[in-house]
């Protein structure tokens, strides 16, 4: 009986966490494309010439990505990359990078 209750509790937890886990997975998948320049999980190599994104404030990241996308912040590559992201994707990326430890 105890095993059945434990399994039921695990299943209930998995169902409740499902949408959040799926959203986190989508954000992580989006962020994987940033790793080549900004490092794994946004922790860029020191003195590598690219800004670390891990632990930056969510609102700041959203503002900067939208500025790149909308052509208000000049860059060599980021303007082109950011054009491919919707507002929802930018918000997912920002939340994911903000949640990473520096």
* pLDDT tens figures, 12-53: 554 555 556 566 899 889 999 999 999 989 999 888 899 999
Say what the pLDDT of residue 1 is: 55
Is 16 domain-assigned?
Answer: no
Find the mean pLDDT for residues 1-18.
Answer: 50
CATH number at residue 95: 1.10.760.10
Instruction: Tell me the per-residue pLDDT of 51-95, one tens digit each, with 9 for 90 and over.
Output: 999 999 999 999 999 999 999 999 999 999 999 999 999 999 999
Is 81 domain-assigned?
Answer: yes
At 11, the pLDDT band (50, 70, 90 cuts) reads very low
* Mean pLDDT, the chain, whole residue set: 85
Is 54 domain-assigned?
Answer: yes
* DSSP string of 45-100, one letter each residue: PTTSSS---TT--HHHHHHHHHHHHTTSS--SSHHHHHTT--HHHHHHHHHHHHHS
Is 70 domain-assigned?
Answer: yes
Q: Which domain holds residue 94?
A: 23-99
Number of domains in the chain: 1
Is 64 domain-assigned?
Answer: yes
Cα(83)–Cα(49) distance, integer angstroms:
22
């Amino acid at each position: 009986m105890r095993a059945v209750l434990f399994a039921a509790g695990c299943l209930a937890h998995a169902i409740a966490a499902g949408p959040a886990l799926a959203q986190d997975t989508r954000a992580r998948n989006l962020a994987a494309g940033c790793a080549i320049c900004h490092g794994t999980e946004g922790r860029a190599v020191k003195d590598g010439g690219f800004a670390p994104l891990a632990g930056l404030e969510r609102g700041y990241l959203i503002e900067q990505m939208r500025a790149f996308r909308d052509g208000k912040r000049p860059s060599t590559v980021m303007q082109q990359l950011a054009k491919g992201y919707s507002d929802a994707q930018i918000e997912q990326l920002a939340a994911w990078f903000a949640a990473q430890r520096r």
